[in-house]
Amino acid sequence: MLVALLAGCGGSSGAKQGGGITVQPARTYRLEPLRVVHPAAGKPATLSFRIVQPDGTPLTDYRHGAGPHTGVHLIFVRRDLSTIVHRHPPIRPDGSFTEPIAFPSPGPYRIVVDAYPQHAAQTNFQLFSTIDVAGGYRPQPLPPLRRTETVGGYRFVLHGTPHMRAIEPAFLRFTVTRPDGTPASFTPWYGALAHAIFFRKGSLDYFHTHVCAPGASGCTSALGTAKVTGTSASPGTLNVGVLVPLPGTWRLFLQCRVDGRVITAPFTLVVT
């Protein structure tokens, strides 16, 4: 099965106004076309897309180099915030991306394409779409904040009491230990020691920060004039920057690579 998806990028579809005037879509970046072949849970699916620039030509020139702020970050989040898939697909010379995806479970997902163009006014921008992965969808209630999450035997502990406000940088201090109790040592994955991906309950608003190795550059996330940079001062510790645009209940997906495997630990956060 092949599904062509409409890219929902900033409400740019044309709209009929009263009096028969057609308002043309804003000249913005868009996903064109965005296709998913075999969107069923547990089966390998293939997603392909290009980003088309306001002038109608495909975007081919992306930022590259060290750090996480390069290329395209492709993220799928299930609507109930139970699971995500996060990839940095390789860029083809014609600006197209083709990525094999295994959706972990059926249901509605939001697709985020977070792009870092080489030459643009802003560092990055996001384009959004949605996809239904076939199968029975049973939404899971969002669990309350738990300070300890164990994933595959790796233990993530959130220390202190988080007080988070919208648009204000804050830090969450985590320790991560292996199944044998020793501090986890993080190996860079997609340019960072850890990726902190935030989605807001209900609206699925998105933000993304990183933890990089000491001295690394290109690791600061910005929201307007506010900036935040995560740090890791010693093995097994993560000082994760939080910078989200709106109050509400958010789900943080904290991802890192330890002992050759990528681990995702989810945490529920309340931002006032």
Nearer to Cu ion, 59 or 256 (CB): 256
Q: Which of 184, 233, 240, 187 is nearest to 211 (CA)?
A: 240
| Nearer CB in complex with Cu ion: 68/236 | 68
Smaller CB separation from Cu ion, 137 or 190: 190
What sign does the CA torsion over 91, 97, 101, 106 have?
positive
Q: Are 195 and 255 in contact (CB under 8 A)?
A: yes
Cα(23)–Cα(270) distance, rounded to whole angstroms? Answer: 39
Nearer to Cu ion, 31 or 74 (CB): 74
**Closer to Cu ion at the Cβ: 52 or 211?**
211
Q: What's the closest the beta carbon of residue 69 comes to Cu ion, in angstroms?
A: 8
197 contacts 175 by C-beta, under 8 angstroms: no
In whole angstroms, the minimum distance from the beta carbon of 34 to Cu ion comes to: 21
In the bound complex, what is the minimum distance in angstroms from residue 209's beta carbon to Cu ion?
Answer: 8
Return the range that interacts with Cu ion (CB under 5 A); candidates 193-201, 215-223, 240-248, 260-268: 193-201
At closest approach, how far in Å is the CB of 81 from Cu ion?
17
Task: Kindly report the backbone phi and psi dihedral angles of residue 20, in degrees, each rounded to the nearest multiple of 5, phi listed first.
Answer: 75, 15
Cβ atoms < 10 Å from Cβ of 61: 12
Tokens of 220: 């600061």
Number of residues that bind Cu ion (CB under 5 A): 2
User: What is the nearest approach in angstroms of Cu ion to the Cβ of residue 208?
Assistant: 5
CB of 190 to Cu ion, least distance (A): 6
The answer to whether 129 and 31 have CB atoms below 8 angstroms apart is yes
Choose the binding region for Cu ion from 33-41, 118-126, 176-184, 190-198 (rule: CB under 5 A).
190-198
Contact window for Cu ion (CB under 5 A) among 88-96, 117-125, 178-186, 187-195: 187-195
Structure tokens at 124: 């990055």
Residue 110 lies near Cu ion (rule: CB under 5 A): no
Instruction: Compare residues 47 and 52 and give the one whose CB is closer to Cu ion.
Output: 47
Toward Cu ion, which CB reaches closer, 110 or 195? 195
Least Å distance between CB 127 and Cu ion? 16
User: In one letter, which amino acid is 78?
Assistant: R
Q: How far apart are CA 103 and CA 6, in angstroms?
A: 19
Among 63, 195, 251, 257, binds Cu ion (CB under 5 A): 195
Footprint of Cu ion on 22-81 (CB under 5 A)? 68
| Alpha-carbon span 39 to 86, nearest angstrom | 16
Backbone phi, psi, residue 18, to 5°: -60, 150
What is the rounded CA–CA span in Å between residue 130 and residue 112? 9
Query: Where does this chain bind Cu ion (CB under 5 A)?
Result: 68, 195
